[in-house]
Structure 1
Amino acid sequence: MDIVVKKIVREVKGGNQEAFAELVELYKDRVYHVAYRILGNVHEAQDVSQEAFLRAYTNLDSYDENRKFSTWIYRIATNLAIDRIRKKKPDFNLEDRVGGTENLDYHSQFADETPLPEEQIVKLEMQEWVQDEIMQLPPKYRTAVILKYIEDLSLKEIAEVMNLPVATVKTRIHRGREALRKRLG
């Protein structure tokens, strides 16, 4: 993909402004997700994503083609999101009293996010159950499933780790996932 991206970047630098739309199409979802994870707000993440691509377009001459485009555009989006957070100033202090109440401050308005003990136990039991079911898979499927879904490796990386062709890795992941689905019911 890096070769394709470099080709598109060269086209844009050469004056083909429409080629930039291809870069936007390739990276728009990932840039949005980076912004959303930082900001936690759909609309702000959309704004930051758009601004990131505008900045990338206007500063494309400063892009070093020896580096990954994705890293560069993510850095722009991250910086914009962080700047947006810094510019937000709270219009109240958490120690301020809530109007119309007796001695309640804004701290009291936040729900406790700590999971209930019952929820923690259910979650742990679910994790143990899934882990036990993964362990029942044949080793060739188990390894592929763990590397893909728990370690979050790419297919190419898994192929290198398992010393197999990518097509074989895809098959093992698919079969392992299907076997796990049947086991989990």
Structure 2
Amino acid sequence: MEEEIQWIQSILAGNKQAYAHIINKYKNQLYATILRMTRNPHDAQDLVQEAFVKVYHQLDKYEGKGSFSSWIYRVTINYCMDEFRKKRYKMKQVDIGEETLLNPNHPEVIFLKKEEQRQLEKLIQTLPEDERLILLLRYVNELSYHEISELVEIPLSQVRNKLHRAKKKMRDSVKQEGGYFHDEMLGSR
């Protein structure tokens, strides 16, 4: 965090090149979050670039309260949510590349992992936007409940409740279809 503060001070002092450090540190995490929100690689890439411009112009507003990572997530997600509302953003179904598998040479493992991933992505897309966002921040970005609370600016109890409701909805949906949902499916993300 101290390193980030030095980068921010350098940027605010006029060294625009220092911003590359922030971009390099956060681009993959922000892209992964936005990709799961949009399910469209092209849109996610555009939104990440635009969000970094927004972050750059708001760097002077970072007061050092809380972690910089929480602040940059908040600015990025707020920007994306504003864009979704403005454009009445439509979620597009695009396959996301499969994650690296533990034993890629074993066909059964590959098949089962792909099916589990498809099922999980489908379930996540059925959730309301606020619950989906909290679920992704918790399990994809591995943020703590407290960081999520700061990021989306809701009380800690609401973060826990929304996460619990999201998992319950996913579990109930799978049960209706005769399947089985286990929380470890989220843990592997």
TM class, shorter-length: 0.3 to 0.5
Task: Give the TM-score taking structure 1 as reference length.
Answer: 0.48
Task: Give the TM-score taking structure 2 as reference length.
Answer: 0.47
